[in-house]
């Protein structure tokens, strides 16, 4: 649906105030989502904004600010530590979610305290109420495509991972419709896998590794987006879980919590689960070197991340666990099999290679590099980059360290099968999404876009790979024709996006109202907005239906967002370094 445009104004307690915009992008029974964007006309070191509605609003969530309710119609928003500083010429843009009675779309105004007129006239009094349409976005360097706010999409993706948290939630939990859950699990914490409530070890570790890789390579993108501290906070959640899941004395790793079959027969909140939550472990008898190695990779990369951050004690704990877990995986080879085959890996060599490469970078111990070279002996092109297949990731990492031409040819061969022209084996949707699979088409395109940006940084296909990667992300964020065009497959980004993801918690109304299979079958939008989640994506034909029952196209998962988020960080890095390439999307968003 098109956004509901409300009165927009920037109200300052001074004369000649700068203009800004407030829009309500989506509204539903009991709530609405809006966005404010304010040009900064004075350097600020700390800010307070006042958001005033023309109707009563019960509560307000704004994830980039601390919110205080002043009255039923006014809310004060104060900066967080990471976004206190704003400079002249910047724009302060943020998304908010309001809660009220009924289906409301209230007009709103916003002001920033102390952002005085540059004339210094000191003239004060009642602020002028200006009403105008939201400004038409200027084109970016991407071939006429309407401007994409990649930094905003990056921040939203982090929020999706916060919505997937299991365990005792922290005081700064930004997802107000989520509460404590899984407190009796054999290992508390971690992420729920998708729209269900199982904690699957392989996709959780794989997602964590890709996300950490994006922070390793594109930290400046997170800084520019104002998301660095949020990213540290988010990524520590699974790392803490992995530390608890691995017992180096017993040589035992918890790799799954919950019964997938029983879980999938329950439609409700994770806070309301009553079914058994079996604890599945691998050890010297029950093999699982694929999951153990992937978890070791995440821990090793986490140790690099937090050492760079300055938290040497935590980094040391992560590295110690990574080395012992890798040793366990290396000496106890065998692929994990669960009874229901939800995430059955095709092998363990790619995970072992990936773990040894990150351990080499974490320690400088050349034995790990030798392990990686000896583990990865075949020259072959990967099918995709995903939770099961890390082949091309290993080849890229090995090339970066060795500059071996064989590894470079493997990476180039991979993209030869993905990019148009050449030896392309992958079909494309009419609007240009590289469509690898019916299951998670957006996931595979996002993962490959991330890897393309990584390879480009290493000097492989630099301009061509960057251009293709940005075009893939542009498609996902709106350069397509679904629903009349400008449809984002990331929930909460833009004005049109999925409203009915296959996600139990988001489908549930506020407690204490019950949540059952009635919510699964309810055709109305989900009561909770699952901000930042990337849905599976369209059919090869480009068709897509926003239907909660269609888990093939409308599932969300931690691994779906991982490479996509990494690509967003990479693109913000390109913006920052003025290397964003010209792009030509087939179906550019015009709004």
pLDDT per residue as tens digits for the range 541-586: 999 999 999 999 999 999 999 999 999 999 999 999 999 999 999 9
Q: For 419-424, what is the mean pLDDT?
A: 78
Please report whether residue 520 resides in a domain.
no
Q: For 246-261, what is the mean pLDDT?
A: 96
Q: How far apart are CA 244 and CA 264, in angstroms?
A: 26
Q: What is the pLDDT of residues 183-194, one digit of tens each?
A: 999 999 999 999
**What single-letter DSSP state applies at residue 512?**
T
Please report whether residue 524 resides in a domain.
no
| 253 three-class SS | strand
**pLDDT band at residue 339 under the 50/70/90 scheme:** low
Catalytic residue from among 240, 546, 559, 575: 546
Residue 128 has pLDDT above 70, yes or no: no
Q: What confidence score (pLDDT) does residue 260 get?
A: 86
Cβ count within 10 A of residue 316: 13
Given 82, 112, 142, the domain boundary residue is 112
Q: What is the pLDDT of residues 426-442, one digit of tens each?
A: 999 999 999 999 999 99
Report yes or no: 453 and 466 within 8 Å, Cβ to Cβ. yes
Q: What confidence score (pLDDT) does residue 548 get?
A: 97
Cα 14 to Cα 11, 77, 84, 111, distances in angstroms: 8, 19, 21, 10
Please report whether residue 188 resides in a domain.
yes
Same domain, 188 and 81: no
Q: How many domains does the chain have?
A: 2
Same domain, 362 and 298: yes
Please report whether residue 445 resides in a domain.
yes
Helices and strands per DSSP (H, E), number in the chain: 17, 13
Catalytic residue from among 240, 479, 555, 559: 555
Please report whether residue 416 resides in a domain.
yes
Please report whether residue 270 resides in a domain.
yes
**pLDDT band at residue 60 under the 50/70/90 scheme:** confident
Q: What confidence score (pLDDT) does residue 28 get?
A: 66
Residue 137 has pLDDT above 50, yes or no: no
**pLDDT band at residue 2 under the 50/70/90 scheme:** very low
Which range has the worst mean pLDDT, 21-30, 123-132, 462-471, 472-481?
123-132
Q: How far apart are CA 67 and CA 78, in angstroms?
A: 7
Q: What is the pLDDT of residues 272-313, one digit of tens each?
A: 999 999 999 999 999 999 999 999 999 999 999 999 999 999
Show the domain range for 60: 21-112
CATH number of the domain to which 105 belongs: 2.60.40.290
Q: How far apart are CA 225 and CA 296, in angstroms?
A: 29
Q: Verify whether residue 546 is a known catalytic residue.
A: yes
Given 112, 141, 175, the domain boundary residue is 112
Residue 14 has pLDDT above 50, yes or no: no
Angle between helices 349-363 and 391-402 (to 10 degrees): 30
Mean residue pLDDT across the chain: 88
Q: What confidence score (pLDDT) does residue 324 get?
A: 98
Before 345, cis peptide (omega within 30)? Answer: no
CATH number of the domain to which 183 belongs: 1.50.10.10
- In total, the chain counts a number of residues equal to 591
β-bridge partners, 8: 132
Report yes or no: 394 and 357 within 8 Å, Cβ to Cβ. yes
The label of the residue with tokens 């939770």 reads: 387
Same domain, 163 and 227: yes
């Amino acid at each position: 649906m098109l956004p509901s445009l409300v009165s927009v104004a920037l109200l300052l307690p001074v004369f000649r105030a700068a203009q800004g915009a407030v829009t309500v992008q989506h509204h539903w029974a009991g709530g609405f989502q809006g966005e404010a964007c304010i040009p900064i006309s004075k350097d600020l070191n700390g800010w307070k904004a006042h958001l005033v509605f023309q109707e009563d609003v019960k509560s307000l969530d704004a994830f980039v600010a601390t919110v205080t309710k002043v009255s039923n119609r006014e809310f004060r928003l104060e900066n967080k530590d990471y976004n206190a500083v704003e400079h002249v010429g910047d724009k302060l843009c943020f998304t908010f979610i309001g809660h009220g009675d009924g289906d409301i779309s209230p007009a709103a105004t916003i002001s920033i305290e102390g952002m005085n007129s540059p004339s210094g006239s000191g003239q004060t009094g009642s602020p002028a109420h200006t009403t105008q349409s939201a400004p038409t976005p200027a084109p970016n360097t991407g071939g006429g495509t309407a401007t994409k706010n990649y930094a905003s999409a990056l921040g939203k993706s982090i929020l999706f991972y916060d919505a997937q948290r299991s365990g005792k939630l922290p005081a700064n939990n930004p997802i107000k419709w989520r509460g404590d859950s899984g407190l009796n699990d054999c290992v508390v914490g971690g992420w729920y896998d998708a729209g269900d409530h199982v904690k699957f070890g392989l996709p959780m570790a794989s997602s964590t590794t890709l996300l950490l890789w994006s922070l390793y390579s594109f930290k400046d993108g997170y800084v520019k987006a104002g998301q660095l501290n949020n990213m540290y906070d988010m990524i520590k959640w699974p790392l803490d879980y992995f530390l608890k899941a691995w017992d180096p004395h017993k040589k035992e790793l918890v790799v799954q919590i919950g019964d997938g079959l029983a879980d999938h027969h329950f439609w409700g909140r994770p806070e309301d689960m009553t079914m058994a939550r079996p604890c599945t472990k691998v050890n010297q008898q029950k093999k699982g070197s694929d999951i153990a190695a992937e978890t070791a990779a995440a821990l090793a990369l986490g140790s690099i991340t937090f050492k760079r951050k300055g938290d040497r004690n935590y980094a040391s704990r992560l590295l110690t666990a990574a080395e012992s877990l890798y040793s366990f995986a290396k000496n106890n080879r065998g692929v994990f099999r669960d009874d229901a085959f939800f995430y059955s890996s095709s092998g363990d060599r790619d995970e072992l290679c990936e773990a040894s490469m990150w351990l080499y970078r974490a320690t400088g111990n050349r034995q790990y590099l030798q392990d990686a070279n000896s583990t990865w002996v075949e020259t072959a092109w990967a099918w995709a980059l995903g939770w099961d297949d890390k082949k091309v990731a290993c080849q890229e990492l090995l090339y970066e360290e060795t500059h071996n031409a064989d590894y470079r040819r493997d990476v180039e061969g991979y993209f030869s099968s993905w990019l148009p022209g050449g030896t392309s084996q992958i079909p494309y949707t009419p609007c240009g999404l590289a469509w690898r699979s019916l299951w998670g088409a957006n996931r595979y395109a996002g993962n490959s876009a991330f890897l393309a940006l990584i390879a480009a940084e290493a000097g492989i296909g630099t301009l061509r790979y960057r251009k293709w990667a940005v075009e893939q992300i542009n498609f996902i964020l709106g350069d397509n024709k679904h629903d009349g065009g400008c449809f984002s497959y990331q929930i909460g980004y833009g004005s049109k996006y999925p409203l009915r993801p296959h996600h139990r918690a988001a489908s549930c109304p506020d407690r204490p109202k019950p949540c059952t299979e009635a919510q699964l079958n309810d055709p109305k939008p989900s009561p909770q907005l699952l901000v930042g989640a990337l849905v599976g994506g369209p059919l090869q034909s480009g068709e897509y239906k926003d239907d909660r029952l269609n888990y093939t196209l409308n599932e969300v998962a931690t691994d779906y967002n991982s490479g996509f988020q990494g690509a967003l960080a990479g693109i913000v890095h390109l913006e920052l370094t003025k290397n964003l390439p010209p792009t030509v999307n087939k179906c550019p968003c015009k709004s």
